[in-house]
Structure 1
Amino acid sequence: MRTRQAVPPSRSTRARLRRAVWRRRHLLAALSLGLAAATAVTAVAPPDPPGRRVLVLATDTPAGTALTERHLAVSELPPGAVPPGALADVADAAGSGLAVGLPAGTPLLPGMLVGPGLAAGAPAGTVVVAVPVADPSARLVRPGRRVSLVTTSGDVAGSPGGAEVVARSVVVLAVEAGTAGGAILDTNSQPVSHLYVAASERVATVLVGSGAWAPLRAVLEP
């Protein structure tokens, strides 16, 4: 009787490996094609676009702050994260007042500053006028709110008197913190804030005339 010769272990292992690969040849081919496609896409994909310089606030800053270099920083943001018209250099905002309180990291736009860019936020057909308003009536006023502005005869005559609405429902664009009074007949020792409001030319003329004599009073509208 003939004795069957044993297959060496190494040859048997290679045979099993070849059979396993053969049975899974379709799966392996698909994986190879997928890997090749992914490599090709990575190779031809364009690089990320370069970031854009944008001027941001370096600290949380309240409305009315006169901006200096310590309040400002230049950052680099993805183009899609930069709002249209954003400022890019410290010189664009240094020395201007901040129209509205904003948190650190906020990109700055011209309309956020008390200056020439403030008119960009005014509704069509209006002009921007600075109105002196006696504290504490200005303390609750915030940009974007509508207010009525009132003059009192007591302010002008230095004695108690009546009141008259000189402007209704004007939009506040910015608030400048209280300073010493400067109106002609202002005998009140309280600080005077300035509201920058959008109004028609006719109303703006009335506000300028009324505010020249004494600070006005602001009445918040709902």
Structure 2
Amino acid sequence: MRHRIVQVPRDVQALVGLGDRGGDRFGSYSLGMKQRLGIAAALIGDPELVILDEPTNGLDPQGMQEVRDLIRHISEQGRTVIISSHLLSELEQVCDWLVVLDHGGLVYAGTPESLGATADCLILAPDSEADLDDLEVIARASGLTTDRADGHVIVMLTDAVDARRMAAELNRRAQVAGMVLVELHHRRADLEARYLGMINSAAPGHHDL
């Protein structure tokens, strides 16, 4: 079987950070360098559209960061970059638009921030655990669902709720009721958790869209 030899232009080698390694043997490259070389091959001919399949697969944290930075740089040059990956945490850091497929059907298309936004919550902790019941009553008065965990009240947010304004309002109401909150923060589920929540809550037949 004949091997195909592809010459990567020097400017493309430099773009992917391999300008000083262009004359080295491929076998001497690290996995991260091989990934960047693959991206370089995709850039030959200066395409407007670049499609990458699992570009950070198998890389260590430093290699993943280097590839993420490279993808952002390619995009900033005016190219459209399409990434196929199961590493949702990576997609959340580098993509500004998501298309989610499940069982061959389209289940979501939009920004990463909008995917499964109902997984957001506020975490509140009063100075005294004796105030937990009253704190839950205050939160539920706003029409929100609550839960308890380790001395905290967890307030589930919906798409229509602005997290910052709701946090300020709950803090104000707690103060009026004579409570001191020692903890109040917004916890947003990562992309993986939001994706799984969307898939698991889908009605039967939804995946066949």
Q: Quickly name the TM-score band, shorter chain normalised.
A: under 0.3
Q: Would you tell me which structure has more strand in proportion to its own residues? A: 1
Q: Would you tell me which structure has more helix in proportion to its own residues? A: 2
TM-score, normalization by structure 2: 0.27
TM-score, normalization by structure 1: 0.26
